[in-house]
Amino acid sequence: MIPLSLLIMSLLLSCGGGILCLLLKRREGDIRLGGSAVGVTAALAGLGAGLTAIGAGQPAVLDAAGPYPFAHFVLRLDPLAGLMIAVISLLSLVAWIYGFAYVREYAGRGVGAMSFFMNAFIASMMLVVVADNAFWFLIFFEMMSLASYFLVIFDQDDEAVGAGFLYFLVAHGGSVLIMAAFFLMANQAGSFDFAAFRAHPLPAPLDSVAFLLAFAGFGAKAGMIPLHIWLPRAHPAAPSHASALMSGVMIKIGVFGIVKVGIDLLAASAGPAMLGWGLLVLAFGAVSSVLGVVYALAEHDIKKLLAYHSVENIGIILLGVGTGMIGMAMHQPVLAVLGLMAGLYHLLNHAVFKGLLFLGAGSVIFRMHSKDMEEMGGLARTMPWTALSFLVGALAISAIPPLNGFVSEWYTYQALFAAALEGTPLVAFAAPIAAVMLALTGALAVMCFVKAYGIMFAGAPRSRKAEEAREAPAAMVAGMTVLAVACVALGLLAPLVAPVMGRIAAATIGAAPVTLAVGATLLPGDAQQATLSTPLIAILLIAMAFLPIGLKAAFAAKRGGDRKVAAPWAAGYLPDHHMPATAGSFAQPIRMFFAPLYTMRRVIAGRWTGIALGFERVVTLARRTEPLADRSVIAPIVGVVDAGGKRLQAIQGGDFRIYCLYIVAALIALLALAV
């Protein structure tokens, strides 16, 4: 029960920290210090809970009666939930360290409310992944969506409010679909407990209906294409340390839900349908990976660019999950474990390097007060630590060895190769296509981050703000450094990490552990079925090819005083800051090649604008017809409501933060009751 004790301690600290931040709302210095200290402590406790749960042989279960007779309060901390708790805690630990300095940007704008919602957001994510009852899962899922919604709209400008409204609609639409899937399973099981779902399989075709509902609902939360429309708007609108949590962790709750329903709750009832589910997940993963990076290439807003890369990496994770489901359907446990392990490994890696990139972007925005890359340039000279951290994250997300992104994508390739060689004709057709799309994704990702890093940090400054920028505060640099070191460690220590991820995948599937590493050698499956075995030393040697370039650059820097400096040749014109490559010109060939895809995106955006305008027309019509109520038969009802409203005006203070407190009060009460 040690994992559960640590988890409960983390939840209590998060709840206490949130309440403390509200009580000290006028003392922002104390909120920064005390809130960060409590948040770091809660994150360390959560990290301990997750790591001990991963290493434990049996799941830790807490089963209590709860306040409702129809819904037991059940928490189940198994290896998969332990992985998610560890990832959430790691990112929240870094976010609290980073936020100690970053929240100065919001001085006088409700730092206490921001910290409150951060605590509620983190605690609700933890509770979602350990809830083992459908009712409580939905309650905590709603808490997570609401807390993140308030973080998205925190700036209260038009863009933030519009992004929050879109996120609110998509999130709750997904919640309705998830609820429908759970109701189908609860009706068959006669209980809302997940244990009952596992014990009472759904008959066909209800099992496929339930999976499709859950896949669409959780896919909306994950941001997979075409349900991604909220993500490029909501993530940039939130504060940067909240964006790191949303992109690094929250969207993974969607992947967790797909795995939970498709591989855990419906595994006993799937049968032949599992193959179709796996191919569906594989197809959506392949499309999301390519379109995500294609759309990212066209962005000039650095946070929107990173948000679209979240769509891309969710697609890569789904490639591994889909391959694992295909392996289960074909009764090939090695393929099943390998595929799911690749997806989970990339889930962990993406949380680390995407959190790092969002924090790096936040540091630049903290100094520049702009998200537009065209206004940056030359920041590596004035912000060297931020530039180095962002470079590590850019190399990791581009799958450059020996960093962590390379290892998990390598395992994904191996899973797809194995599926192509050992699968049915349909699988043998689909898996190579998915592998080609993954390769295309990798090439475009390299191009995108060459553009992002080059435009932001290399070259000459493109604005006065870029010239005057200086390094981010020490706390922000420390947070980025932790994640940069993690990117390197998760790559170099792959022979140690891969077996752990393999045990998590095997425990989730219910299969025997598979050999994934022998000494310093990484094996995709086992020695007999390996399609390719790569010693880690070979990966390091590939990476060492870049060493001469680095050494040459270092020696060239030392000889810089001896070089003659002259203006570059610019075809007879004096060079100026408009002549270097821009973000738009860099991506122009890709925009031309993929023009139909960008046209499709504009059409979809136009449809959403039409829906928003229709909603505004309904509101306007309602306002125009409101005076008619005085002459209608409902006038007495209107009078009673009006009188009651006037009495309730006593609680109306005109402060947005008070309204937020009213809305979440019931959810916090439920959270306290649950804990």
What's the pLDDT tens digit per position in 352-395?
999 999 999 989 988 888 888 888 888 888 888 998 999 999 99
- pLDDT score at 557: 47
* pLDDT level of residue 663 (50, 70, 90 thresholds): low
Average of pLDDT values for 334-356? 91
pTM for this prediction: 0.82
* pLDDT level of residue 558 (50, 70, 90 thresholds): very low
What's the pLDDT tens digit per position in 526-542?
444 444 445 555 555 55
**Which of these, 122, 422, 372, 413, lies nearest to 248 by C-alpha position?**
122
Q: Give the integer Cα–Cα distance in Å for 205 and 276.
A: 12
H-state helical runs in 330-424: 333-368, 379-382, 384-397, 404-422
Task: Determine the 3-state secondary structure of 75 from DSSP.
Answer: strand
- pLDDT score at 623: 54
Q: Assess contact for 257 and 217: CB atoms under 8 A.
A: yes
What's the pLDDT tens digit per position in 433-463?
999 999 888 888 888 888 888 888 887 777 7
* Higher pLDDT among residues 643 and 652, named by residue: 643
Which residues have C-beta within 8 Å of that of residue 361, sequence separation ≥ 6? 240, 302, 303, 306, 371, 390
* Higher pLDDT among residues 631 and 126, named by residue: 126
Q: Give the integer Cα–Cα distance in Å for 552 and 548.
A: 6
- pLDDT score at 527: 40
Residue showing tokens 């340390």: 241
List, as one string, the DSSP characters of 282-318: HHHHHHHHHHHHHHHHT--BHHHHHHHHHHHHHHHHH
Average of pLDDT values for 249-271? 85
* pLDDT level of residue 401 (50, 70, 90 thresholds): confident
Average of pLDDT values for 209-233? 87
Q: Assess contact for 338 and 529: CB atoms under 8 A.
A: no
**Which of these, 228, 33, 238, 237, lies nearest to 118 by C-alpha position?**
238
**Does residue 613 surpass a pLDDT of 60?**
no
- pLDDT score at 622: 54
3-state secondary structure 454-481: HHHHCCCCCCHHHHHCCCCCHHHHHHHH
**Does residue 625 surpass a pLDDT of 80?**
no
* pLDDT level of residue 106 (50, 70, 90 thresholds): confident
CA distance to 194, 304, 449, 536, per residue, from 443 (Å): 41, 20, 10, 22
**Does residue 483 surpass a pLDDT of 80?**
yes
Q: Assess contact for 646 and 102: CB atoms under 8 A.
A: no
What's the pLDDT tens digit per position in 570-594?
666 666 655 566 655 555 566 565 5
Of the ranges 604-613, 633-642, 666-675, which is most confident?
633-642
**Does residue 187 surpass a pLDDT of 70?**
yes
Q: Give the integer Cα–Cα distance in Å for 264 and 255.
A: 13
- pLDDT score at 532: 43
- pLDDT score at 529: 45
**Which of these, 465, 490, 217, lies nearest to 350 by C-alpha position?**
490
* pLDDT level of residue 264 (50, 70, 90 thresholds): confident
Average of pLDDT values for 420-436? 86
**Does residue 317 surpass a pLDDT of 90?**
yes
**Does residue 86 surpass a pLDDT of 90?**
yes
Determine which of 143-152, 172-181, 469-478, 560-569 has the lowest per-residue pLDDT on average: 560-569
* pLDDT level of residue 569 (50, 70, 90 thresholds): low
Average of pLDDT values for 504-521? 74
Q: Give the integer Cα–Cα distance in Å for 19 and 642.
A: 34
CA distance to 56, 170, 241, 279, per residue, from 325 (Å): 25, 27, 34, 8
Average of pLDDT values for 75-101? 91
**Does residue 28 surpass a pLDDT of 90?**
no
* pLDDT level of residue 213 (50, 70, 90 thresholds): very high
Burial 62-76 (b: 16+ CB within 10 A, else e): beeebeeeebbbbbb
Residue showing tokens 């080609």: 436
CA distance to 218, 230, 264, 283, per residue, from 227 (Å): 10, 8, 24, 14
Which residues have C-beta within 8 Å of that of residue 646, sequence separation ≥ 6? none
- pLDDT score at 531: 43
- pLDDT score at 528: 42
CA distance to 151, 402, 532, per residue, from 409 (Å): 32, 12, 14
